[in-house]
Amino acid sequence: MSARASAIVSPTLAELELAWAGLPLAALAPALVARAHARLLELWPLLERWVEINSFTSNFAGCDQVADELLRALALPGLDGRRVPGRAAADHLVWKSAAWGTRPGVLLVGHHDTVFPPGTFESFSCDAHKLYGPGVLDMKGGLALLRTAAAALADCGLLAELPVAVVSVSDEETGSADGRRVLAELTGDAAVGLVFEAGRVNDAIVTRRKGTGKLVVSARGRAAHAGNDLSAGRNAIWALARFIDGAQRLTAPDGRVTVNVGLVTGGTSANTVPAQARCEIDLRATTAADAEHLVAALQRLAAELTEQTEVQLTLEGGMRRQPLEPSDAQGRLASRYGAYAKAVGLSDAQAALMGGGSDANTLAEHGVPAIDGLGPRGQAFHTPQEHAEIASFAPRLGALLAFLLTWEAAQR
């Protein structure tokens, strides 16, 4: 972390205090309310420190430095934290309460990587109402919320008895290719998953997300001189262009399924029939069935064009995250959490379908009902305007604490 003075200003703290003081928290024990208040005041300096460290997904050193900070901040009685060494990713983190694994548990999910390469968007700042900085919303703010809840529960001796685990992966922003094994390992003991990605503007609970995938298409033709021997060549760029046109047309008019060719390379010079070309494609689908049809259609297209053009089109990749689709169990989870959210002035509504995947998709893939968007409210994540609303931290904390404290009773 840099040696610069903290950017936290007193109106920021006043807004936080005000939001907490105004909450209807009668359901929580006074001792817990007091400890949560004390721990809330630690949230800002912690979040500032975490945001000040660049943790772009492929900046492993930065991600690991944030992981060190997280381990320190979550070294709490009744909670056992450990690093899971990354494979082609920075380290992931897992914390388990003493009661985790003894009965069906609640898995609290976050990530500590961001989408900002070093030097593109750095440093934390704030005004009276908002916090700004890379990851302040997506989703170090959500991690700060989790830490605050865990610390308050630990202070009151309640954490060890709750079957709770916290996980923070280091590669969520690129699809959790490595982090998913860490999540998968926890799903056996998890009855539900709560994911603390950015809260929506209207506080709606995220229950649906598209599945996401990536395909790399390689075209291998035959080089030839464009003037002397054109007909002997097999133009890889032309074949790939035809594939791209067909692929783009698979986007459904209603947006349920989308295809975006986002990167193309190929050829060596204007007077050579290109032997090689390559493109990368982003895929999104609303249901698992749609995703399956989409990938099959792309494979068919590649096979047909290979035959017609004598250029070998090869596909690599596919769906990385399956869609998060509503289920009965997820509906029960959303209405349980929604009741606590509503009690503290948030919404119990469910958000409209989102195009982006998250680790809620990963949990659902493993049969664990999950809801998302439970982090602080804000806007403009993945842009240099990313910000979180200060007043949203307190009610989110209140809802989470109430949900966790009644978890055991709800299981009986």
Please tell me the count of residues contacting Zn ion according to CB under 5 A: 3
Nearer to Zn ion, 53 or 139 (CB): 139
Told to check if 139 binds Zn ion by CB under 5 A, we report yes
Dihedral pair phi/psi, residue 308, rounded to 5° = -70, -35
Q: Which is nearer to Zn ion, 15 or 91 (CB)?
A: 91
Return the range that interacts with Zn ion (CB under 5 A); candidates 196-204, 290-298, 325-333, 341-349. 196-204
Nearer to Zn ion, 139 or 285 (CB): 139
Torsion from C-alpha of 159, 165, 170, 176, nearest 10 degrees: -160
d(CA 190, CA 89): 24
- Establish if 167 lies at the interface with Zn ion (CB under 5 A): no
Single out the segment in contact with Zn ion by CB under 5 A; choices: 100-108, 191-199, 263-271, 395-403. Answer: 191-199
> From the CB of 46, what's the least distance to Zn ion, in Å?
18
| Binding span for Zn ion by CB under 5 A among 13-21, 131-139, 179-187, 344-352 | 131-139
137 binds Zn ion (CB under 5 A): no
- Closest approach, Cβ 90 to Zn ion, in A, equals 15
> What is the spatial distance between Cα 40 and Cα 34, in angstroms, rounded to a whole number?
10
Structure tokens that stand for 203 in this block: 């506080």
Q: Nearest approach, Cβ of 137 to Zn ion (angstroms)? A: 8
Residue 144 CB partners (closer than 8 Å, separation 6+): 43, 46, 47, 50, 393
Q: x/- site string to Zn ion, residues 219 to 248, per CB under 5 A?
A: ------------------------------
Contacting range for Zn ion; rule: CB under 5 A; set: 18-26, 39-47, 99-107, 192-200: 192-200
Q: How far is the CB of 359 from Zn ion (least distance, A)?
A: 8
CB-based contacts of 328: which residues, under 8 Å, 6+ apart? none
**DSSP string covering 344-412, please?**
TT---PBPPPBSS--HHHHHHHTT--EEB--S-BEE-TTSTT-EEEGGGHHHHHHHHHHHHHTHHHHH-
The H or E element spanning position 84 is strand 79-84
Measured from the CB atom, is 64 or 138 closer to Zn ion? 138
Read off the tokens for 42: 């630690």
Output the residue with the shortest Cβ distance to Zn ion: 138
What is the contact surface with Zn ion in residues (CB under 5 A)? Answer: 138-139, 197
